[in-house]
Structure 1
Amino acid sequence: MHIDIIEDLPSLAKLEDNWNTVYDEDPEAQIFLSWKWLHGWLSCIHGPWFILAAKAGKAADLPYVAFFPLRLQTTIEDADIIHDMRMAGSFGADYTGIVCRPEMENKVLPAFARYVRHMNWARLNLDNLRMSERRVRLLLACFPKAGFRYSEANAVNKVDGIDNSLCPYVTLPGDWNAYLDTLSTNTRQKIRRLLKQVDEPGEYWISVSTSETFEQDLKTLLGFWETKWRPRKGDRTDSLVRSNGAMLTRSFQSGLVYLPTFWHGERAVAALATLVDPRKRTFSFYMTGRDETFEGPPAGVILHAFSIRHAIANGFSEYDFLRGNEPYKYSYGCVERKIRNTIVETRDGRNLRTGIDPRSIPDVLQKATELHKKGKIAEAEMGYRRILGAQPKHADALHRLGQLLVAKADFVAAKRVFRTLTAVRPGAAKAWQCLGQVCESLGEHEQALRQHLEFMRLQPDSPDGFVAVARCMAKLGRIAEINAALLAAIEPASGPSVRKWRDWRSIPDRQASDRSISA
């Protein structure tokens, strides 16, 4: 099998037809692996993602037969950079997995595993994995216990005891009354009575989001959800609201969201968002929220029953309550499936390959910079150096490492770093200024003078350059030249002293060049 890596949205966009063909043929594929959902999700997440795409050979016209969506997370732990490989849908998808033509899985799954094994990571998180045991065995066989450790993440919520590895769902018949006949007598009568209240004209009614109302309906839903869950989720609430809002908006734009809102007169009481997969004919209940002060009929029961009836009427075959074995779900006639959260770790807890994955460089730079600002110098320096180990000419890492070394008074090392930076970014005035300042700190005033002259050439209107040049000349005993530099520094850029200085400054520059000062 030949494996390609897809890691940008334009490349992913070109695969839509190929992806849909494989998706339709794969009995294990589900909404969170659909091209539309993934494309929307990947367009709004932070951090590097990539998709392994498998085909039978290298020929450009061969179609792909499988896709393995992944993402990379990076942390700095114990003075080391650790990469976590995760499923690409993680934190937004209730299910993850691989899309594969079923007749190819015996070849594809081991090929994907071998490819992943040769990448740079310390932990492979197969979170919310909805995959047959057959495929799981094929995937994990390439990670022998001699080199890797296995564990299962605990999916049971400590607060309420809900097991999020259990996922109730209903197989829908073709007729609404046939579905009701599968329920208990009490539930059937309750649903009929409640739906009658919204079907007939009266104080209760249900609207379904359109392109004109979706933004406000989503705001209503997220507002209700936030009010309920903020006490438990705390600081995570804002980021969850943002990510769920972005995902549902993208999904709605792709035709994948069904969002009914339950009203009491002009008062919105509750809303429910369901992900709709027209290819697999499934409804997947994603989130709900309600006004906790409302004392009328049970809004959740009404919205679920309304959505199930709509799904049956439109030919859908499954209503999935997704993760969590909350007791109320089973009153709708559910059975359950089990997903897994398997973690594969290297034995020593370090990345499989030395250095860092180049995809992680933006994240490592951000984290190292944050550590630098917090005064965690050793960790920040390690981060900058790991970036430069992977990309020796990374300008931002060079600049920030140089600043860190100056703060440590390691001027010799800082000089080497800033010298490299001037080669990488010869047009960056700041790099020459920093190099000149480091040379001054080392007492190398003639070298410093040359760097400051280059800074002046790039930023001729900056008085800092004139002052620095004058300072170096004072150290070198070139007193006769200082007055001109200082006078030029305090005059406008068009003043006669400045013009004279610009003509005159080429003399010491040539002298410095003639001396062939070494770094």
Structure 2
Amino acid sequence: MHIDIIETLPSLAKLEDNWNGVYDADDEAQIFLSWQWLNGWLSHLQRPWFILAAKAGESADLPYVAFLPLRLQNRIEKSDVVSDLRMAGNFAADYSGIICRPEAENKVIPAFARCIRQMNWARLNLENVRMSERRSRLLLACFPKANFNYTEVGRVNKVDGIDNSLCPYLTLPKDWNSYLESLSANTRQKIRRLLKQVDMPGEYRITVSTPETFAQDLKTLLGFWETKWRPRKGDRIESLVASNGAMLTRSFQSGMLYLPTFWHRDRPVAALATLVDPRKRAFLFYMTGRDETFDGPPSGVILHAFSIRHAIANGFSEYDFLRGNEPYKYSFGCAERKIRCTVLETRNGRNLGGGIDTRSIPEVLQLATELHRKGKSTDAEIGYRRILEVQPKHADALHRLGQLLAAKGDFAAAKRQFRILTTVRPDAAKAWQCLGQVCESLGQHEEALRQHLEFMRLQPDQPDGFVAVARCMAKLGRMAEINAAVLAAIEPASAPSVRKWRDWRPTPDRQTASEHSVSA
């Protein structure tokens, strides 16, 4: 089995038809693994992501038979960079997993696992995995407990006792009356009575979002949701509202969102967002919000019943309440499925292979730079060095590590970084300036002079170069030449004295002395 790695949106776009074919063939596929949903989510995702794609051989003509979307998340702790490998849909997807043609799973899933074993990570977070026991065994068999620590993570909320690993769902019949007959008499009568209030002209009504009303309907939903959850979510609420809003907007634009709003006269009192999977003929309830001050009919029951009726009328076969075993869900006649949250960790807590994945470089650079700015130089240095282990000529890491080393007085080590940087970016004036400065700190003034002259060549209008040259001249005892250097610093860049100093090079005797100084 041949595994390719897909890591760009244009590459993913080319796979749409192939992906949809696998998705349609796989009974375990669900909306959060659909090409359409993932393409939208990955375009929004900031952290590095990639997709393992399996086919029977290396030929470009062979179609892929399975896909596993993943992403990397990094942190700097315990004197190292530690990488987590997560399912790509977390944290927006209620479910994660693999899509695979059933006849290929016995070969594909072990091949995926072997590929993952070759990557650099300390923790594999298999969160919210909706997968058959058969597929789970095939995947986990490649991670023996002798080599990895296993943790089965519970999803019971400590505040309200809701178990978010249990996912109620309905298998929908062909018609609405058949569905009602499957319910208890009390529930059946209640739903009929409540829907009658919105079906008949009166003070209650339900509208369904259109392109013209969607923005306001979404604002209403998110406003209600934020009010309810702010006390529990705290500082995370703004980012959650923003990410949910972006995901729901993308879904609506793709025809994958059903958003009814319940009204009392001209007052919206509740809204419900349901993801629509036309390929699997499934409705998946994602989120709801209501005006907590409204004391009329139960808006949640009305909106769910309205949505279930709509799904049945349009030929859908499943209504999924997603994660959480809230009692009200079971009143609709639900069965339930269980998802798993398994965390695998390396025994020593370090990344497999000891280094970082090249895809992690932008995030690790950002983490190290933030630590550097906060004065946490030890951890920042670790981040820069891990980057340079896998990409020795990474210009930003070289520059920032050189600055860090110079700041703590390790000028010889800083010089090595800046020297490499000048070969990587020979046209970057700042690199030559930094190299000249650390040479000065080492007392290598002849060599520093050459670096400052190169800086002057690249930045002829900057007075810093003239000042640095004069400073080196003073250290070298060339007092007669300093006046000309000072004059050059205050004259226009086109003046003769400036041209003289910009083009100045050491005499042969001075060049030899300089080379002797470097080798010493």
TM-score class normalised by the smaller sequence = over 0.9
Residue 443 of structure 1: how far off its partner (Å) = 1.1
The answer to whether 1:115 aligns with 2:115 is: yes
**Number of the residue aligned with 1:506:** 503
**Number of the residue aligned with 2:268:** 268
Q: Secondary structure at the match of 2:262?
A: strand
- Stretches of structure 1 that go unaligned for 5 or more consecutive residues are none
Structural mapping, 1:183-194, within 5 Å: 183-194=183-194
Question: C-alpha distance in 2, partners of 1:36/1:269?
Answer: 31
Q: Assess if the C-alpha contact under 8 Å between 2:273 and 2:287 holds in 1.
A: yes
**Number of the residue aligned with 2:301:** 301
499-508 or 76-85: which moved more? 499-508
Residue 425 of structure 1: how far off its partner (Å) = 0.7
Q: Assess if the C-alpha contact under 8 Å between 1:283 and 1:311 holds in 2.
A: yes
**Number of the residue aligned with 1:249:** 249
**Number of the residue aligned with 1:97:** 97
Question: C-alpha distance in 2, partners of 1:371/1:138?
Answer: 41
Q: Secondary structure at the match of 2:488?
A: helix
The answer to whether 1:490 aligns with 2:497 is: no
Question: C-alpha distance in 1, partners of 2:443/2:76?
Answer: 37
Residue 73 of structure 1: how far off its partner (Å) = 0.8
**Number of the residue aligned with 1:86:** 86
Counterpart amino acid of residue 38 in structure 2: L
Structural mapping, 1:84-483, within 5 Å: 84-483=84-483
Identity of aligned residues (%): 79
CA deviation profile, 1:140-167 (whole Å, cap 9, x unmatched): 1111111112110111001111000000
Counterpart amino acid of residue 412 in structure 1: A
**Number of the residue aligned with 1:50:** 50
Residue 203 of structure 1: how far off its partner (Å) = 2.0
Residue 509 of structure 1: how far off its partner (Å) = 4.8
Residue 346 of structure 1: how far off its partner (Å) = 1.3
Question: C-alpha distance in 2, partners of 1:446/1:240?
Answer: 57
Q: Assess if the C-alpha contact under 8 Å between 1:453 and 1:509 holds in 2.
A: no
The answer to whether 1:67 aligns with 2:67 is: yes
Question: C-alpha distance in 1, partners of 2:387/2:501?
Answer: 42
Q: Secondary structure at the match of 2:44?
A: coil
Question: C-alpha distance in 2, partners of 1:142/1:5?
Answer: 19
Q: Assess if the C-alpha contact under 8 Å between 2:485 and 2:501 holds in 1.
A: no
Q: Assess if the C-alpha contact under 8 Å between 1:32 and 1:95 holds in 2.
A: yes
Question: C-alpha distance in 2, partners of 1:502/1:448?
Answer: 20
Q: Secondary structure at the match of 1:508?
A: coil
Q: Assess if the C-alpha contact under 8 Å between 2:492 and 2:498 holds in 1.
A: no
Question: C-alpha distance in 1, partners of 2:328/2:176?
Answer: 20
Q: Secondary structure at the match of 2:241?
A: helix
CA deviation profile, 1:115-164 (whole Å, cap 9, x unmatched): 11111111111110100000111111111111112110111001111000
**Number of the residue aligned with 2:28:** 28
276-285 or 298-307: which moved more? 298-307
Q: Assess if the C-alpha contact under 8 Å between 2:446 and 2:514 holds in 1.
A: no
Residue 177 of structure 1: how far off its partner (Å) = 1.2
Question: C-alpha distance in 1, partners of 2:485/2:195?
Answer: 87
Q: Secondary structure at the match of 1:124?
A: strand
Q: Secondary structure at the match of 1:332?
A: coil
TM-score scaled to structure 1, two decimals? Answer: 0.97
Q: Assess if the C-alpha contact under 8 Å between 2:167 and 2:337 holds in 1.
A: yes
CA deviation profile, 1:351-398 (whole Å, cap 9, x unmatched): 111211111111111111111122211111111111100100011111
CA deviation profile, 1:37-95 (whole Å, cap 9, x unmatched): 01111110121111000000000000000001111111112111111111111101111
Question: C-alpha distance in 2, partners of 1:486/1:264?
Answer: 80
Q: Assess if the C-alpha contact under 8 Å between 1:368 and 1:380 holds in 2.
A: yes
Question: C-alpha distance in 2, partners of 1:394/1:415?
Answer: 16
Question: C-alpha distance in 2, partners of 1:15/1:431?
Answer: 43
**For residues 23 and 122 of structure 1, do their structure 2 counterparts lie closer, same or farther at Cα, with a shift above 3 Å needed?**
same
Q: Assess if the C-alpha contact under 8 Å between 2:38 and 2:89 holds in 1.
A: yes
Task: Let me know the Cα RMSD of the aligned residues.
Answer: 1.3
Question: C-alpha distance in 1, partners of 2:176/2:80?
Answer: 58
TM-score scaled to structure 2, two decimals? Answer: 0.97
Q: Assess if the C-alpha contact under 8 Å between 2:90 and 2:127 holds in 1.
A: yes
CA deviation profile, 1:420-465 (whole Å, cap 9, x unmatched): 1111111111111111111111111111111111111111111111
Residue 178 of structure 1: how far off its partner (Å) = 1.1
CA deviation profile, 1:475-500 (whole Å, cap 9, x unmatched): 11222222222222223434x3xx32
